[in-house]
């Protein structure tokens, strides 16, 4: 039997640890457009307005993106038009392409030209082909950019690559702001938005009717300017919930509807990064009326201890107002209680005294939410599942490295 080789084993273990740290760090890295642009003072104005319009958060959330940055001098031209923040967001959205274009790719375009979607187009704000950007490789290595609704005019040109992380994010500097009549068209301010009308047109008419009938519409509307997040159950969901709703008193109906609003603006990225208990429009000193926000990857759930609803889509995201569709009516524990499923009784010992009420659920059990225990179990399952999925490659890689070194 060969003698042990402690030095080799120690070296293998050290290399394994280093490899593990490198792998874990590479999987945890994510781009941050604010930090990237902060290294370039000449792009500070553009960087500032990406934050003000909340585009920075959207850019950071996406995995394949190209940002066409504008220097301070070029930004002054668009700021001189005194556009509202929602309108300025539309204009800057034209400068965020939902595909990856590095400097090399710009000069190797198939056919010398391509038409690519911007964030302005992909969010559904633009009509038809408006919001598409034309990129053309011109003679002499010059690359031009122009919006599709600008009659094919290339009014801005590539200047330099700011930073490229293939094929995650590319930040390129161009000479001028991309012009688009539709993007610069006046956008209604928060107070001008008719919330109930928007809901009715987007598959939430039943919920819109509930807002009006309970008088909650006025509360929602007055909160728009200061920031408002609305979770609207679709018509089919409300229809299925109707029997329960009819059994509520008038004050309870009002509380239920208010429970579907948060008095702050919460973009999808914000919801994902701020998991935890959150207050609603129904919250007061006497009653909490809160729920817990949780996310599993891209999926966001709202847990009320009575039901768990999922965010299924975005109806409108126009800071300071955002509206999401949910697949269940949010039922607060202050109004609805679920009887916990009675567990099978444990076998009685032969000499144990008899108790006629031993199997009857207590009042506390009857009032307790039924999903408490299952939620904890689910969280544990998700944690184990995430570890298995994320760590499988790391474990295999380490095993191979250690096996080779110990041979």
Cβ atoms of residues 132 and 96 within 8 Å? no
Mean pLDDT of 50-54: 87
What digits encode the pLDDT tens for the residues 152-186? 789 999 999 999 999 999 999 999 999 898 899 88
Confidence band for 124, pLDDT divided at 50, 70 and 90: low
Most confident of 113-127, 159-173, 351-365: 159-173
- Which CATH number applies to 33-184? 2.30.180.10
pLDDT surpasses 70 at 396: no
Least confident among 208-222, 275-289, 301-315: 275-289
Q: What is the pLDDT of residue 14?
A: 52
Cβ atoms of residues 303 and 339 within 8 Å? no
Strand 228-233 to 321-326 pairing: parallel
pLDDT surpasses 90 at 43: yes
Q: What is the pLDDT of residue 399?
A: 45
Mean pLDDT of 224-230: 87
Confidence band for 2, pLDDT divided at 50, 70 and 90: low
Residue 333's CB is within 10 A of a number of other CB atoms, namely 18
Q: Closest by alpha carbon to 140, among 116, 163, 162, 112?
A: 112
Determine the Cα–Cα distance for residues 314 and 312; give it in Å rounded to an integer. Answer: 7
Q: What is the pLDDT of residue 382?
A: 41
Q: What is the pLDDT of residue 34?
A: 95
pLDDT surpasses 50 at 334: yes
pLDDT surpasses 60 at 358: no
* DSSP E strand boundaries for 234-298: 261-262, 276-278, 291-296
Q: What is the pLDDT of residue 377?
A: 37
pLDDT surpasses 60 at 232: yes
What digits encode the pLDDT tens for the residues 293-333? 998 878 999 999 999 999 999 888 877 889 999 999 999 99
Domains of the chain, by residue range, sit at: 33-184, 190-326
pLDDT surpasses 50 at 21: no
Q: Which long-range contacts (CB under 8 A, 24 or more apart) does 35-39 make?
A: 36/162, 36/163, 36/169, 36/171, 37/69, 37/162, 37/171
Determine the Cα–Cα distance for residues 145 and 154; give it in Å rounded to an integer. Answer: 5
Which listed CATH number (2.30.180.10, 3.40.50.920, 3.30.300.180, 2.20.25.240) goes with 190-326? 2.30.180.10
Same fold, 33-184 and 190-326: yes
Provide, rounded to the nearest whole percent, the portion of the chain with pLDDT above 70: 74
Q: What is the pLDDT of residue 191?
A: 60
């Amino acid at each position: 039997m060969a003698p042990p080789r402690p030095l080799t084993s120690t070296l293998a273990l050290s290399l394994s640890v280093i490899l593990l740290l490198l792998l874990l760090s590479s999987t945890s890295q994510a781009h941050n457009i604010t930090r990237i642009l902060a290294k370039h003072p000449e792009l500070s104005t553009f960087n500032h307005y990406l934050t003000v319009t909340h585009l920075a958060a959207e850019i950071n959330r996406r995995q394949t993106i190209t940002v066409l940055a504008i220097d301070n001098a070029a930004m002054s031209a668009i700021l001189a038009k005194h556009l509202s923040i929602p309108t300025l967001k539309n204009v800057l959205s034209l400068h965020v392409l939902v595909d990856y274009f590095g400097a090399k790719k710009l000069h190797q375009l198939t056919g010398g030209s391509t038409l690519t979607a911007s964030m302005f187009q992909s969010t559904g704000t633009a009509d038809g082909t408006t919001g598409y950007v034309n990129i053309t490789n011109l003679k002499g290595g010059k690359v031009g950019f122009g919006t599709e609704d600008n009659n094919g005019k290339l009014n801005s040109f590539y200047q330099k690559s700011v930073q490229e992380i293939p094929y995650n994010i590319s930040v390129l500097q161009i000479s001028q702001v991309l012009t688009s009549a539709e993007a610069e068209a006046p956008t209604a301010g928060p107070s001008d938005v008719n919330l109930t009308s928007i809901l009715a047109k987007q598959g939430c008419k039943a919920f819109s009717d509930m807002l009006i009938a309970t008088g909650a519409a006025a509360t929602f509307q007055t909160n728009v300017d200061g920031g408002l997040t609305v979770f609207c159950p679709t018509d089919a969901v409300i229809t299925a919930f109707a029997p329960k709703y009819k059994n509520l008193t008038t004050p309870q109906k009002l509380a239920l509807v208010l429970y579907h609003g948060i008095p702050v603006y919460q973009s999808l990225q914000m919801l994902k990064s701020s998991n935890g208990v959150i207050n609603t429009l129904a919250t007061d000193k006497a009653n909490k009326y809160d729920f817990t926000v949780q996310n599993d990857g891209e999926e966001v759930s709202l847990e009320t201890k009575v039901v768990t609803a999922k965010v299924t889509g975005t109806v409108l995201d126009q800071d300071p107002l955002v509206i999401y569709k949910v697949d269940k009516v949010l039922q607060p524990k202050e109004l609805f209680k679920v009887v916990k499923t009675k567990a099978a009784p444990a076998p009685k010992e032969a000499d144990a005294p008899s108790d006629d009420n031993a199997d009857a659920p207590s009042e506390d059990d009857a009032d307790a939410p039924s999903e408490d225990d299952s939620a904890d179990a689910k969280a544990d399952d998700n944690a184990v599942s995430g570890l298995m999925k994320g760590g499988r490659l790391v474990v295999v890689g380490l095993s191979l490295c250690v096996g080779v070194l110990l041979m």
